[in-house]
Structure 1
């Protein structure tokens, strides 16, 4: 059975915690017996998939497939807002079409096509939750590859690395932020500056490497750090590559 259906609240209920503790304990025994490296246990850290939330957070579920991690109160509020959506729209539509909100309400915009009418504070909350989404994941380095790719060009004499990004199939004009997960698992750490997708949902440049967003250095790890990217318009976190550069000095 799909874990999203059997654990709709992101895996933080009492029964779920008991099952997780038991599962983790059994997994740890198996790993030790097999002599598997510590890094391999990361698979057991996210029992509900790559977007498993840290303790205290649950999936928002404001729209289908919305796995941004939020407080339980925000998830409940989002469900209530969905239930009240029709009553907050102007009957017969208005200046912004059939989804025009009544006075005092605005579109929530957990995604650009989320036109549920809510108080302005709820739209601000949605923006904030999208912004902080990578910090609330239990294992952010395990997220899947998306449509954003990064490339590092090392400077000579161990002088650090310039990191570039290319992307496609993003929401038009959305902001993308980048973070590092260090080889020791720490992070996310902010990596450089945000980039903005164009009107076609792409990030491109005349440079075949893409747009530069960070200068990171000096090189210090023999193991690569994971680069993750976050699309502000949705809060979606995806894997974007690796780099052997370290702290951001952009």
Structure 2
């Protein structure tokens, strides 16, 4: 399991010591297959976070990416990560940190109503680069609220061009309409920071205190304080709020 693979597993709330009963239960969950897009511009899949395996992939993935779906079943998430454009791969780390921070800061009863959307570039089998929009929802949860199944629809939006990676979160309202409640742009300026500094910056943006950040990242308070100082210095601001605004920008919560 690659380091990024392991990191995503941890962000989703799981660990190497995950109860075997949870894994067995996840494997037995009934799968409602998604209807493959008829326009040949997209594909769909279901990813099981408990087992870190794909449960379903539509046949149309080959017409979009050029890879047979058997590769995704055989090689799993590591293969999916290997075909992401290198410039977007690091941003994807911070994007998933933002996704799961938002997920776990949402009451457990509301998590199934969230829809996460983001764009990224993928390298196809013939070595061309296409721009994909992914939209996903979670379904099936452990007793303590961890996500099990993620239903994902991916659409080829190459014709729209590529500017930057953007994450949006919508929540299903009582009237049955998805309402945007969060947006964040992942720009090149964030790459000035180290991986750990970006994690500290995102958690500070979420409103966590230095002590809370230390607990979540398994760091000492002094180490987090040091990271905050480096972030502020790189942003050229006088405090962490200024650094957030300059490096991330204001996001709607």
Question: Normalising by the residue count of structure 2, what TM-score does the alignment of the two structures yield?
Answer: 0.22
Say which one has the larger Rg: 1
Question: Normalising by the residue count of structure 1, what TM-score does the alignment of the two structures yield?
Answer: 0.22
Which structure shows the higher helix fraction?
2
